[in-house]
Structure 1
């Protein structure tokens, strides 16, 4: 028979069952003591000998002996034949003719066992065909068609069906027969996938590269290149499914077989959660890789005009470069073991096993199936091509800021300060709160709202101006609110480009509204926040897995071979940002500093007491119940109600909700400004018409006061109704209502300045007129004490204090100072009492009132020579005289 005929016969035999044929050949070669022929030598080198050892890199704590992860991974390593030793025992599910896979529960048999008569004839034919191939014919066959057929065959034959319906529980896991019938075919399938991936590289090296060098400028090259990677991707996707199915029974055999019946159900649920976490990460990786492979045909190859015989490869942004962000390592063990060790001591081993399986998938499936490092065009074809990648035209966002809801930011900080174990069941309200926070943050991103004017301290606690990269880091870190969102870099970059490049068209988003913020922030953090990247090497160890199921001792390789973890540990600057944010803004609930809480309560109490005392004095003394006194009393009562609503009811009882409390607080601030408007206008009117407040009759003063109250309440109700209507009808009510309140307060305070300015102008005009008439007085305008009191009164009545307080509220990023100013405003009560009660007019009256309470018979100043009847008669005559003058 000619060599070509032998090759045809061998390929036909291999087509029936590649794995069984190769096992037969390897078993025969294994017992040959003399020399072997060319065909046997090539097959031994490519398939039978395989790799004698495998390396797994993980944290030293995970791999420290006795390592559950190392023991479990050693069982996944393909067995190799060793000349002169017994052949490996690999359990295999027989596959009938026609390529239809039998159920996984079929009877397993050793690969080296005694076949039946038909199988012996078929095996003998394969051996004869292999021995008949000589020299170049054998090398050409086994380095090209043979490796490609192994991988293609494994795509169909390595599937293990019927396992998705298996429910691991207290009855199924301890059942050795049931568990073994599932675990054995899964183990065998995983070993075959590993061997097929390793052997498949010969297919690419011997056939695809030769084609690519000769036809690099042909479009067919990209199609064949994509086809090769697509077939490899099918193996990777199949492997992810098998690893997820293998995780629970494998974990049970190595760490859960000693569990009691009481602890086993809880342990099983925890393993399922870790399995789901691992599956989520691997599926995101597979999804990204599949997308990148599909986009390979869209790469552009063009001749380099500056270099003869070389080409330029133009790749889109969504290319292989994004796949490196998945990282070589998982950090489940580092991130969650310490959190879970108190209630779940076995969690550390579960997370370590998940990390080790992830690393195994990366090193022996992903890297070898796609040959990622060597398959990079920029490295593989650096003598023929120059790769030019599309760049995302967005500058570094490390110093950008975003105005967001502080409730969400507080939730993120709490998640960092008090992270929860992922094995614990979160309360439904906590899960709902996280979903609402993701929606709120995305809404804040879409709105692109600028700095919202803050009219109250409560409003300051509702919105925060946060560093964008810091917020992205807090949102997508492993302890935060995006744990359940699949890690897909291609989708993240696509969503981020959609958001930044097409802000008015959000229909291009691939993520839903709940996951969009996680997707965009993930791409933003990894690609555009340079201050938050990390390449700090950590302590990583390696363990050597042998094909006989054993493994070597663990040793450190962090500095020896330059292998280290890069899974996003924050840099010192990132930590500085976080700690600065915590200490200055978010460390305390609702933006309150814990150690200043007693001081705040004390100041609030003193403020309320002195405001009540001032109001009581104005209500009790008849001399102060004139028109300005009534207006000032309204101002005091409004301030007391505002403090009770915002500082007592909301902070102590938590009602109403924050947005309503902000609306009430801002409304009372505006009403206080309107009372100041009335007070300042009455001061101007008194000077303008040369009538002192005490000259007005009680009926006339009451009539004017009612009119002033009506004017103030009409304006105030109009603004409040507009704000409430905006809140109920507009999605962006917060910004519009704050602007409306800010406008009302600004106009009101401006009116006060106009009135006080007119008073000053009239005083200067009068003074100049007196100088022209040469009228001089030896008395001073006022003493230093009176000038001080007048200055403080002017500041209060003008509303400058309100402007200063609101101005500090605008100062985002310095929450401590805002909080200090907030506490300082609580001394307004004592200041009002001192300035409006402790003066030369009111203080003597208040003093006499106190003395009369103590001793009713005491004679006060000004009343020494008059009896009560005489004083009453004089008062009546005075009122009648004033009434007559008024009628004239």
Structure 2
């Protein structure tokens, strides 16, 4: 419709059209009709008939035209005259004008200690009450009578309030309950201030700063008033249903759910609007109350730091907004059913995501305690800045977010409320395998926290995001332990208690500082994660924030022993509506003030110390005291492996088919040591995960070479043929065939593992299992071959006894038995499987480190037991000595005749005589 103030014709037309409608509607509908008909003084003049229909009609028309601002003026005039307070004035005073007398601020005593600049700053956020004859304040809240056109309306509204009776008062209460939030949202939007950028010029311009700050303060004060008034009005509207059948109950339940949903939706809109205003006013409010530097350069830095702190505060408060929005959507999911055990009683089943989750929000921030020390060097007044942020959060947490939490409890006694049966399973003792690089990042953030006001390098931000994604991948895998095949793989993974991981991730010093703390979303994501591990489509968080969301739910609901419930020393400041406040005093803790503080318990610290000392401290396996011993063993290993390989190349007797296979095994071992100990440990390339794949692949290749060697031993004994019986060409052909078989098998296994890890990170566990399975099967094959060789030896010995063939020779001396036993261990790969078994030991990294050092003695042992024996060592000795003394008789030449030796001697002497004559 058009506005009625444009002419009498329009007014008459509107009046004639409205009268038939108003005659058949209730007061609530009448109010909606008035709101729809028009606004302003013209509406009141054009509808005199409507004003006589109900005693409250003039007041309702004024409120429909001008909003609840008319009642602000009424509150300032109630009780100021000599007249006795009427019934209507009492109703308005109890509902709209009855603000709380004082606003307490609960905070740590460190924040509120004397000389705190946070206390006078927060005092400016307190609403100014106009009830009980108090005059309106000058700052922030301009008197309604001073606004244009409001003086006449105030007089009419006061007169209408005094004429209210019982029925009309209830109609007024209904009107206020439906209009107060919407009116505040419309009046407190302040669209023109959204683009105000605070810099040196705008902050130091007094009239600009004060004008903007005054409007913002007025808006947040009004929102605070509406929060309290709305809660008072809502408590006067209980669910009136007492005895009814199921059909009536369902009907009333739908009405209740719709009403409650609207209530929470309006709360969410107010929260969102208020949080935006808090972020805007935080910098100018701090500028007027904190000690700032006149120097432009220092002031510029101060403004940047306060802007970052405002963003941090906004992130914390935004989580509240998200939760309240979610609650408004979940109200409609309440289910009603009749109690089968008690006829006439009903059960209301609440969803898991109900309003009670709001109690898990932090009662108090810990910015001052967490960041002031490390920010003092960069910002000398850091403690004041963080203290102000903590105090602002505590004030609004108490007077905004705490209001209305109990609303959904207003249900009759004959109806039972039951929570959803789903419960997060206990994960307090669960462990999972995670990347040690991410755990090192979390540990460093706790042990060496950085100032959040600093400009973080882009690579640091990217590293945190990659770490969150990697941790989420690890959590999704749900693997308590990923098998490792090398000591490098041990440094890549770490077994971590799930609760400890959650605490380290979402701690205020952790990697989740920029993720809003939404409890409802955290519980939703946790249920989705634990109920459907294979389908993550129900997660509301993205992959970067999912670890933060789920970890918060785990820590809040199932890890009570990992965060302290012992509150700090708490003090209170009471602010009064006239702008004054009392001094701080010790505060007593109530049951509702129980909170999770995020401070570590003894159990948490014990787990963390174990993690640091057992895994992260030895992540690179560089213990300072043992570093010289480690480097010496690595050098000896490389030298003796090269010597062993050189001997097999130098001696013709060892250049047979088994010798070439054993030489390949040695070369593989040398390459593995050079890659893992020299290239990676010294040069730092390639990355750890790639080096783990290379190291595991070379370990598998070494085992496959041993397979070929053991098979050749078995084939020689099976066919009664010595290794030297093969001609050189035939030996090369057989060797090429063996190499082809080895490489095909090795390539298949490595390709499968690489493809798994390249395809998806979720296949990391399967990739390591493929390597471990390949190594295990290879060692089993060696054991089978060596077992068959032993069986053939026993069978041959038994056959000789049946043929009555006896011999005084035994298997060998004790020395030969020792050599044979050690060789069997080397050739079977038992040493490799023992080393891998030690690598599976988690939380005892020292043992893994000692085993790693011990394996570096493999080179000298191979040289001793494969070269320093009665077959190879004498040949090597005579070959070396013959280089200096050709007359030395080498092995195999003892039975030659003296004539042959003399002939050889003459051939050597003739060149020497010729040289002497020259």
Q: How far 1:230 moved relative to its partner? A: 3.3
1:608 counterpart (638, 649, 657): 638
Matches within 5 A, 1:327-726: 327-368=362-403, 370=404, 372=405, 374-377=406-409, 380-381=410-411, 383-448=413-478, 452-532=482-562, 534-558=564-588, 563=593, 565-590=595-620, 593=623, 595-693=625-723, 704-724=734-754
Any idea what the Cα deviations from partners look like across 1:641-677, whole Å, max 9, x if unmatched? 1100112111211212333322322232222223323
- 2:349–2:420 Cα contact (<8 Å) kept: yes
User: Do structure 1's residue 125 and structure 2's residue 156 form an aligned pair?
Assistant: yes
User: Do structure 1's residue 234 and structure 2's residue 230 form an aligned pair?
Assistant: no
- 1:278–1:358 Cα contact (<8 Å) kept: yes
Q: How far 1:78 moved relative to its partner? A: 1.6
CA 521–594 in structure 1, closer or farther in 2 if over 3 Å, else same: farther
Partner residue of 1:882?
none
CA 578–376 in structure 1, closer or farther in 2 if over 3 Å, else same: farther
| Local SS of the residue matching 1:54 | strand
CA 689–193 in structure 1, closer or farther in 2 if over 3 Å, else same: closer
Q: How far 1:589 moved relative to its partner? A: 3.5
- 2:350–2:418 Cα contact (<8 Å) kept: yes
Partner residue of 2:143?
111
Any idea what the Cα deviations from partners look like across 1:4-23, whole Å, max 9, x if unmatched? 86633333344444665445
CA 551–732 in structure 1, closer or farther in 2 if over 3 Å, else same: closer
Partner residue of 2:323?
288
- 2:714–2:786 Cα contact (<8 Å) kept: yes
| Local SS of the residue matching 1:262 | helix
1:161 counterpart (191, 196, 204): 191
| Local SS of the residue matching 2:544 | helix
Partner residue of 2:260?
225
User: Do structure 1's residue 79 and structure 2's residue 114 form an aligned pair?
Assistant: no
Partner residue of 2:106?
57
The answer to which of 266-275 and 19-28 deviates more is 19-28
- 1:211–1:221 Cα contact (<8 Å) kept: no
Identify unmatched segments of 5+ residues in structure 1. 93-109, 876-888
Any idea what the Cα deviations from partners look like across 1:375-394, whole Å, max 9, x if unmatched? 352xx547443210103244
Q: Structure 1 CA distance, aligned partners of 2:54 and 2:792?
A: 121
- 1:299–1:315 Cα contact (<8 Å) kept: yes
Partner residue of 1:98?
none
Any idea what the Cα deviations from partners look like across 1:434-492, whole Å, max 9, x if unmatched? 22233333334445568544322223333344333333333332222222222222222
Q: How far 1:67 moved relative to its partner? A: 1.6
Q: How far 1:504 moved relative to its partner? A: 3.5
- 2:473–2:761 Cα contact (<8 Å) kept: no
- 2:618–2:845 Cα contact (<8 Å) kept: no
Identify unmatched segments of 5+ residues in structure 2. 1-47, 906-918
Q: Structure 1 CA distance, aligned partners of 2:90 and 2:695?
A: 87
Q: Structure 2 CA distance, aligned partners of 1:759 and 1:222?
A: 82
Any idea what the Cα deviations from partners look like across 1:316-367, whole Å, max 9, x if unmatched? 1111122112232222223322332332333332222222222211211222
- 2:144–2:151 Cα contact (<8 Å) kept: no
Q: Structure 1 CA distance, aligned partners of 2:131 and 2:421?
A: 51
CA 35–845 in structure 1, closer or farther in 2 if over 3 Å, else same: same
- 2:491–2:619 Cα contact (<8 Å) kept: no
Any idea what the Cα deviations from partners look like across 1:155-205, whole Å, max 9, x if unmatched? 322332211111111211111111111000111122222222223333223
CA 30–268 in structure 1, closer or farther in 2 if over 3 Å, else same: farther
Partner residue of 2:35?
none
Q: Structure 2 CA distance, aligned partners of 1:741 and 1:305?
A: 58
CA 302–435 in structure 1, closer or farther in 2 if over 3 Å, else same: same
- 1:29–1:40 Cα contact (<8 Å) kept: yes
CA RMSD of aligned residues (A): 3.7
Q: Structure 1 CA distance, aligned partners of 2:698 and 2:515?
A: 44
Matches within 5 A, 1:730-749: 734-749=764-779
| Local SS of the residue matching 2:200 | coil
CA 126–684 in structure 1, closer or farther in 2 if over 3 Å, else same: closer
Q: Structure 2 CA distance, aligned partners of 1:515 and 1:526?
A: 17
CA 550–604 in structure 1, closer or farther in 2 if over 3 Å, else same: farther
The answer to which of 834-843 and 707-716 deviates more is 707-716
Matches within 5 A, 1:807-826: 807-826=837-856
Partner residue of 1:326?
361
CA 21–545 in structure 1, closer or farther in 2 if over 3 Å, else same: same
The answer to which of 645-654 and 608-617 deviates more is 608-617
Q: Structure 2 CA distance, aligned partners of 1:587 and 1:530?
A: 27
User: Do structure 1's residue 271 and structure 2's residue 320 form an aligned pair?
Assistant: no
CA 42–604 in structure 1, closer or farther in 2 if over 3 Å, else same: same
CA 80–773 in structure 1, closer or farther in 2 if over 3 Å, else same: same
